[in-house]
């Protein structure tokens, strides 16, 4: 497999510290509000990456944090704690907020067929690990105390900036959010490892530490959690492109200074989902969530399909028209799969050939658009339906679009519809169970002398570009 590495700015062959095993870490949500669909694009692509690695034969240990403390409203250690902000907004405790939005996040993931990572660790559960790391950094001179807080000293590093190929806007998160100067810092790139009570008197969550009662900074949590569950050598770190600076930059700085050796060689960053006006966020415009998509009548998997059609390193522009197109394409695909008859034997030679090709194509920097193309290629293959279904089912281990399950449900629905017509009404068309069901419904309306309903269905089909012709013993339809 070849992946683009944000740390080296080039596509490289994917290698691991222990051959055949992947220690994978993905930055989780800050659970102060619902995740918007821009956030969820990253989790979808990370999910595809994990499933591809397993598909390719790797043993994967994927770890994810839940940020329930320490993430300030600016990513550069200024402003209000996001968790406290959420608690004040809803007049609840921080822990109530954390539980509610953690549950909501994983409910969204379930609807999008995103697998739960092997380890999910709330930041509040690893305070001892952070204190251990910070203590060593202080003892070795990589960190200092100032104004009641503990700061990492970036001047001790030979190289601080790692991801310098990102857009200036991505690198200047603090500037973009109006960061105020912290007079306690020795250098502009220094960052807080531990806040004491001198920072926020109303901070809800505090712990004893060698430096006073306080709480950890945002950046230290991912290093501590990853070292606890992935070990000292991490193979693959994932996140949104906006995490590259300062969050991931600071993770590398503190982790390698603590460990004394390189920490993570491979960095995977998913680019933004934008609306036509620019970067999508919780603070502007319509707050786009999975629940809102459902309220508007969309299957959440139509949004997953929308994401899969684009490359993870390309900015993706969301519009309702674009989502409509993706939803229509997904429905059409399901209907084509439903038209296949699950009968006969699987041609193992053809199956193996298509699987090998899929591995090569998708393994070229997680090319999900080629994965989508591979499904359509399988549908057109010169082989039996049973083989086509087996190939598509194999591909769906990575895509996770519920292709066989949803197609089987459509096939069953069509069979029941035809059966309810008495079995003497034959519908011929292009193998679309949904259209078949509507044609049958029109026939049943006419049989019941409900001609208004029959005409309504005919007009509905016509609007879809479907022409129905009544023939002896049934009907024939075609797209015009």
Instruction: State whether 130 and 264 are in the same domain.
Output: yes
Among 58-62, 229-233, 326-330, name the one with the lowest average pLDDT: 326-330
Instruction: State whether 395 and 427 are in the same domain.
Output: no
In the chain, pLDDT over 70 holds for what percent of residues? Answer: 91
How much is the pLDDT for 424?
A: 66
The CATH number covering residue 241 comes to 3.40.50.620
Is residue 276 in some structural domain?
no
Give yes or no for a contact between 391 and 375, defined as CB atoms under 8 angstroms apart.
Answer: no
Full domain range(s) for residue 231:
2-270
Instruction: State whether 315 and 373 are in the same domain.
Output: yes
Is residue 282 in some structural domain?
no
Total tally of structural domains belonging to the chain: 3
How much is the pLDDT for 419?
A: 53
Among 270, 285, 319, the domain-final residue is 270
Question: pLDDT tens, 290-344?
Answer: 999 999 999 999 999 999 999 999 999 999 999 999 999 998 899 889 888 888 9
How much is the pLDDT for 335?
A: 84
How much is the pLDDT for 306?
A: 98
* Chain position carrying tokens 């658009």: 369
How much is the pLDDT for 80?
A: 76
pLDDT of 438 above 90 = no
How much is the pLDDT for 84?
A: 84
How much is the pLDDT for 283?
A: 59
How much is the pLDDT for 423?
A: 58
Instruction: State whether 191 and 224 are in the same domain.
Output: yes
Q: Which of 267, 124, 139, 295 is nearest to 211 (CA)?
A: 139
Tell the burial category of 65 from Cβ atoms under 10 Å away from its Cβ (0-12, 13-18, 19+).
Answer: buried
Instruction: State whether 252 and 368 are in the same domain.
Output: no
How much is the pLDDT for 474?
A: 80
Give yes or no for a contact between 80 and 73, defined as CB atoms under 8 angstroms apart.
Answer: yes
Check residues 44 and 83 and name the one with the higher pLDDT: 44
Instruction: State whether 259 and 122 are in the same domain.
Output: yes
Check residues 237 and 71 and name the one with the higher pLDDT: 237
Question: pLDDT tens, 84-97?
Answer: 888 888 888 889 99
pLDDT of 167 above 60 = no
How much is the pLDDT for 176?
A: 36
Is residue 256 in some structural domain?
yes
Q: Which of 389, 396, 280, 401 is nearest to 329 (CA)?
A: 401
Instruction: State whether 467 and 369 are in the same domain.
Output: no
How much is the pLDDT for 295?
A: 96
Three-class SS of residue 369? helix
pTM over 0.95: no
Check residues 48 and 168 and name the one with the higher pLDDT: 48
Give yes or no for a contact between 311 and 327, defined as CB atoms under 8 angstroms apart.
Answer: no
Average pLDDT estimate for 460-468: 90
Q: Which of 288, 158, 133 is nearest to 222 (CA)?
A: 133
Among 214, 238, 270, the domain-final residue is 270
Instruction: State whether 193 and 323 are in the same domain.
Output: no
Is residue 246 in some structural domain?
yes
The CATH number covering residue 301 comes to 1.20.120.1910
Written as six digits, the tokens of 300 are: 């959440």
Instruction: State whether 262 and 144 are in the same domain.
Output: yes
Among 339, 373, 405, the domain-final residue is 405
Confidence of residue 285 (pLDDT cuts 50, 70, 90): low
How much is the pLDDT for 166?
A: 43
DSSP line for 99-150: HHHHHHHHHHHHHTTPPPPSEEEEGGG-HHHHHHHHHHHHHTTSEEEETTEE
pLDDT of 432 above 80 = no
Confidence of residue 173 (pLDDT cuts 50, 70, 90): very low
How much is the pLDDT for 284?
A: 57
DSSP line for 11-74: EEE---SSTTEEEEEE---BTTSPPPHHHHHHHHHHHHHHHHHHHTT-EEEEEEEEB-S--BSS
Instruction: State whether 323 and 362 are in the same domain.
Output: yes
Confidence of residue 350 (pLDDT cuts 50, 70, 90): very high
Average pLDDT estimate for 8-25: 97
Instruction: State whether 159 and 259 are in the same domain.
Output: yes
Is residue 277 in some structural domain?
no
Is residue 310 in some structural domain?
yes
Check residues 124 and 477 and name the one with the higher pLDDT: 124
Instruction: State whether 98 and 238 are in the same domain.
Output: yes
């Amino acid at each position: 497999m070849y992946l683009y590495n944000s740390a080296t700015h080039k596509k490289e062959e994917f290698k691991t510290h222990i051959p055949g095993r992947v220690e994978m870490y993905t930055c989780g949500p800050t659970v102060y509000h619902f995740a918007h669909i821009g956030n969820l694009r990253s989790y979808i692509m990370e999910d595809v990456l994990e499933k591809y690695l397993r598909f390719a034969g790797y043993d994967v240990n994927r770890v994810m944090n839940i940020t329930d403390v320490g993430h300030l409203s600016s990513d550069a250690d200024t402003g209000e704690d996001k968790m406290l902000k959420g608690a004040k907004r809803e007049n609840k405790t921080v822990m109530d907020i954390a539980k509610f939005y953690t549950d909501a996040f994983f409910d969204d993931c379930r609807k999008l067929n995103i697998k739960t990572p092997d380890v999910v660790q709330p930041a509040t559960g690893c305070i001892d690990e952070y204190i251990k790391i910070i203590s060593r950094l202080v003892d070795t001179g990589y960190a200092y105390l100032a104004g009641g807080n503990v700061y990492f000293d970036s001047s001790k590093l030979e190289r601080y900036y790692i991801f310098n190929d990102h857009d200036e806007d991505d690198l200047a998160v603090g500037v973009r959010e109006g960061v105020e100067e912290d007079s306690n810092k020795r250098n502009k790139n220094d960052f807080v490892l531990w806040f004491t009570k001198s920072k926020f008197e109303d901070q809800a969550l505090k712990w004893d530490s060698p430096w006073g009662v306080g709480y950890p900074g945002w950046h230290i949590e991912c290093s501590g959690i990853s070292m606890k569950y992935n070990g000292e050598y991490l193979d693959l770190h994932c996140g949104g492109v906006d995490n590259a600076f300062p969050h991931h930059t600071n993770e590398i700085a503190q982790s390698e200074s603590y460990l004394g050796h390189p920490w993570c060689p491979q960095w995977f960053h998913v680019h933004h989902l934008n609306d036509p006006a620019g970067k999508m966020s919780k603070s502007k415009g319509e707050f786009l969530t999975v629940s809102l998509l459902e309220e508007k009548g969309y299957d959440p998997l139509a949004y997953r399909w929308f994401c899969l059609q684009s490359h993870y390193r390309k900015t993706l522009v969301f519009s309702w028209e674009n989502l409509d197109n993706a939803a229509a394409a997904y429905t059409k695909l399901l209907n084509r799969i439903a038209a296949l008859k699950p009968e006969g034997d699987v041609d193992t030679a053809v199956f193996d050939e298509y699987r090998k090709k899929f591995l090569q194509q998708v393994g070229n920097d997680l090319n999900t658009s080629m994965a989508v193309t591979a499904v359509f290629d399988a549908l057109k293959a010169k082989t039996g339906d049973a083989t086509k279904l087996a190939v598509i089912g194999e591909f769906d281990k990575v895509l996770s679009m519920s292709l066989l399950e949803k197609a089987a449900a459509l096939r069953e629905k069509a069979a029941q519809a035809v059966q309810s017509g008495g079995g003497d009404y034959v519908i011929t068309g292009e193998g679309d169970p949904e259209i078949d069901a509507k044609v049958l419904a029109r026939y049943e309306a006419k049989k019941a002398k409900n001609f208004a309903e029959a005409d309504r269905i005919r007009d509905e089909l016509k609007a879809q570009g479907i022409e129905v012709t009544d023939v002896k013993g049934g009907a024939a339809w075609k797209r015009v």
